[in-house]
Amino acid sequence: MKTYYGLIGAGGYGREVMPLANSGLRGEILSGNAELFFVVEDVDDLMPVNGFSVISLKNFLNLPNPKRFNIAIGNSKARQRIAKICIDAGSVPFSINAKNVVTMDAIQMGHGSILSPFVTITSNVHIGVFFHANIYSYVAHDCIIGDYVTFAPSVKCNGNVVIEDHVYIGTGAAIRQGKHGEPLTIGCEAVIGMGAVVTKNVPPGITVVGNPARPLIK
C-alpha cells in the first residue's frame, strides 16, 4: 500500500527541508511505496517546485490513507494549528533528519521534528513535538525543550537549560549553561534575537537582544 507524504510549506525553509525528506524516503519512493508532495494552504494545486508536485492541504487530506506529514513553516503557532488539522483528519506526523545529524544517549524526541544538516543533540535531552533545529545548531546535555520550539541556524544551547513552548531562538544565539537542579529557563513564547548571548532566565513572552541579552525596548 502506498503512503502519501506531505511537506507543508513550499517557501524558503520548505525548499531547504524537502531534499532531506526525499533522501530519507528515497527507497520507498523508488519502490513505488511512497509519494512525496509539497503541500500549501488555501490555494489550488500549483506548478511543481524544484521538481516536486505542489498540492493544496485540502487535496492532500483527501488522499487515501495512510498519509504522513511534516510542517516546514517557521511560525510556531501556524505549525500547531496546521498539525491539529492534519492529525484530526487522520494524517500522522513524521520526522525529518539530515543524514549527518549527531544524536547521543538517552534522548526523548517528540514527533514532527526537523533536524537540518550538522545538528548535534547530546545526551539526556528531552524535546517536545514539532521542533525545528536549523543547520549547525546544537543542544547539550540535560536540556528540556518544549513543543513547537524553533532554532534558527547555529544556535548554541548549552547544558541544563529549559526552553518552554513556542520559543524562537535567532541565528547565532548562545545560551549559557545552567546548573544541575537550577536550570537556566527561557519562558513560553519568548524570542531570543540573532546573536544574543543569554546569561540568565528569560520571562515568558519577552524578546531579548544583545550581549548579554536584555529585553528589547520598543
Catalytic residue among 111, 126, 132, 141: 141
Confidence tier at 199 by pLDDT (50, 70, 90)? very high
- For the chain, the domains span 3-93, 97-211
pLDDT at 19 over 80: yes
- Decide yes or no: CATH 3.20.20.150 for domain 3-93: no
pLDDT at 217 over 70: yes
DSSP character at residue 202: B
Q: 23-66: per-residue pLDDT in tens?
A: 999 999 999 999 999 999 977 767 899 999 999 999 999 999 99
* pLDDT score at 45: 64
CA distance 10 to 7: 8
At 32, give phi and psi (nearest 5°).
85, 10
CA distance 100 to 206: 34
**Is 111 an annotated catalytic residue?**
no
Sign of CA dihedral 170, 196, 208, 102: positive
> Are 3-93 and 97-211 equal in CATH topology?
no
Q: 57-66: per-residue pLDDT in tens?
A: 999 999 999 9
* pLDDT score at 44: 74
For residue 102, give the C-alpha cell: 549527531
At 58, give phi and psi (nearest 5°).
-60, -45
Q: What is the CATH code for 97-211?
A: 2.160.10.10
Contact status, residue 129 vs residue 93, Cβ threshold 8 Å: yes
**Beta pairing partners, 107:** 125
In this prediction, residues 148-164 reach a mean pLDDT of: 98
CA distance 79 to 130: 8
| Alpha carbon 201 to chain centroid, angstroms | 23
- Sequence-separated (6 or more) residues with CB below 8 Å from residue 188: 146, 164, 165, 166, 167, 204, 205
For residue 82, give the C-alpha cell: 496546521
In this prediction, residues 91-117 reach a mean pLDDT of: 98
pTM above 0.75, yes or no: yes
